[in-house]
Structure 1
Amino acid sequence: MSTEVSASPWRVGDPSTPVVDITVPYANENRDRVLLGEWRRQGGERVPAPPMRLPRHGAGTYRARIWKQNLLDLFLEDQYSDAVAGGTGGPGGHLEDRIVTSVTLSGEWRFATGGQRATAAAGMVCVRRNEDPWDFEIARGTRAITLVLPASEIRFPSNTRAVTAEQGSPAAALLLAQLRLWAELADGLGAAAAGAARNATLELFRGLMNDQVIDDAEFAPALLRAAMDHIEPRLLADPDLSPRGIAAALNVSVRTLYRAFGQGGTSPVMGYVRERRLERARAELTSTRLTVSEIAARWHFADSSHFVKAYKKRFAETPSAWR
């Protein structure tokens, strides 16, 4: 069976010099000890060996190759692995104080910890916190780019251990394009440019996280409150108030904004805007001499008939009856 490893579309480190390049026959009775011993010899402190175990096969050879590139306090690894299982993370464990992102190019990674599971199949991105121990399984012929960041730089939802996204999603595609370009140009960048690239990468990573998850017990209610506070003074002043504009003002994605409103037990964004406008219009029916048509126009309803229909649906009576 061939052990050739195809060229990667990423340029990580020196392509002619992998940090780890190991071949172990599956049939070797001492295969796990040979694998770990050789990994420690080659990788040393630069690529520490996590606990691993090879499946028992009568034929075939396990192959692992890793290229590594440091990008200031971040680093990338281009990893190829055949079928293997193991563990990582936890107190004193491998990369315990880091956020680890697997960008799977082929094959599949499977992770499990504390009852939570995550799968990083080809075409997916899997971001995981590493302070808890993870069990992992890698399918034969798996190739992935791994991005490792300091945990102190990323605000991870408190009740979530892993987040997955499609590599083709806008936020993920933007982050991956930035990483590939930085990796290719890193050797020629000065200190200022490298620092700017590092900060841009972190911002794009935060954008990916915000776009994919909003079930943090603190973040979702805070965002919902901020959105409501942003909307209230614009109900009258801004006839073009929209989810896209609200999300942009709050520096979150439209998807994240929708999730916040869904979790808050309120209507979708524009449903909430309409409801608040109806409530404000209802108050003016008894506090002003404006006609129903004038109030409808003032609160940005298309015409009086639309206003009356929406009002009756909301309050079970017509504006005239209330007045």
Structure 2
Amino acid sequence: MSDLLSVEDLEVSIGAVRPVRGVSLRVAPGEIVGVVGETGCGKTLTGLAVLGLLPPGARASGRVVLGGDDVLGGDPRAVRGRKVTMVFQNPGTAFDPVTTIGGQFARVLRAHTGCSRRAARARAAELLTAVELPERVLDNYPHQLSGGMLQRCMIALALSCEPSLVIADEATTALDVTVARQILRLLLRLQREHGFGVMFVTHNLAEARDICDRVYVLYAGRVAEEGMAHAVLDRPRHPYTRALLAALPRLDAPRGRLASIPGSVSHAEVGCSFAERCPDAKDVCRAETPPAHDGVACHFPGGAP
């Protein structure tokens, strides 16, 4: 089966800074692929590059192919809506505050499908039913809805043109735990019903393990580790993945301070970017960039001798 999305050696530069450096990943049709890591590791920029929505001043190189279309080499507007959409992190800021929900659905549907206002209204009502919201929500303004309702509206809007790929960018971060679980279950149900692929961008490793088929662990704009979700998150080989998992709160752990990773993300040009924070780092880690081998980019996968 050919890949729905293929990203090869993606680099994103903003001036002299390269927040994404050589990322390669793939998503098959109907697959949920997690892109995980802490803030500043390049997850969101990777997703925006797939959409062709990088911020002003950012430049992308490499190759991004979505459903046979070259996103970086062509017009990215040709793939948005019909082939790829994004569910953004904060639903409260993603909608136009002075337009009703129905008006925003109509704007998207008419732009991408050319349908009439009446047809757009009918389609929007159908979509709201799919995400378990009543039709009357179409007459509300965003400020009149809760965060969970807005996120359901955003998922419905993302599916309005029947895309083959949905990028969910921290889709549950702004929600409380109970609502977040409801949104995840909704996303999973819709994915199974419609068969679209999902690029699930998150810093929540528990969520990634629960719903993803495969995961890519990003650090400082590079893929540190990749593989089947349960294999990577149950038996991590890269010290960064192990450190992320060690920082998770556990019910069976003794009370006390949670583990943390010292320092902050650094985009070192020479050697392993994680070397200054890694307890297993040796001289070679600081001098040579580790090649990716068998799904992990580390000189000492599994721990230094």
TM-score, normalised on structure 2? 0.24
What's the TM-score, normalizing by structure 1? Answer: 0.23
Larger Rg, first or second structure (1 or 2): 1
Task: Name the structure where helix makes up a greater proportion of residues.
Answer: 1
Greater RCO, 1 or 2 (C-alpha within 8 Å, sep 6+): 2
